[in-house]
Each structure stands twice: as C-alpha cells, then as structure tokens.
Amino acid sequence: MATRESMETLMQQCEDAIRYAQDQYKDSSLQEHYNNDDYTKALQTLEETYQEIAKMAHSANSQQREQLHRMRLQIQQLQNNMILQGH
C-alpha cells in the first residue's frame, strides 16, 4: 500500500503540474508562439506526472487507485487540449 505521505506528495505534484500547464495553455492562447519552451516544458511535466501516477497505482489500495485514476483523467484531458491547440 502506498503511504499516506507519498500519496499526498504525488497529489501535490499533480496539482502543481496541472496548474503550471493550465497557465501555459492560457498564456499561449493569448501570445500564440512566443512561449514555445514553457509550453513544451508544461507538456513534459504533465507526462512525467502521468508516469508517476502509473507507478504509484501499483502499490496503492483501491481508494488510492480511484483518486489516482481521477487525477490521471484530469492530466490526460489537459494534455489532449494542449496538443489539439497545436502550439
């Protein structure tokens, strides 16, 4: 079972990655192509976080897996939106 502390740390990491990516997504829609490096970094951060969630899910209990699944869906949706924006 994943420890409570490790889950809290990962959830914070997820929230930070999502917030950063949302900021880059919003900025890029206003600035168009002026922010390519940060936009790419945000996508990479989302992917790394997604991979961390997958690792954590292996040692999580059912309640933790559900929480991780919901976070994974949020990350996937944001990734899809950013990719479709075609920055």
> Over the stretch 17-74, which tens digit does the pLDDT of each residue have?
999 999 998 888 777 666 688 899 999 999 999 999 999 999 999 999 999 999 999 9
- pLDDT for 35 equals 65
Give the pLDDT of residue 59. 92
Total domains present in the chain:
1
- Residue 10, pLDDT score: 96
**Nearest-angstrom CA–CA distance, 17 and 49:** 7
Domain that holds residue 17: 4-28+35-85
* CA–CA gap between residue 27 and residue 5 (Å, rounded): 33
pTM above 0.95, yes or no: no
Position 87 pLDDT exceeds 60: no
Do the Cβ atoms of 28 and 85 come closer than 8 Å? yes
| CB-side neighbour CA atoms (13 Å) of 46 | 27
> What letter represents residue 46's amino acid?
L
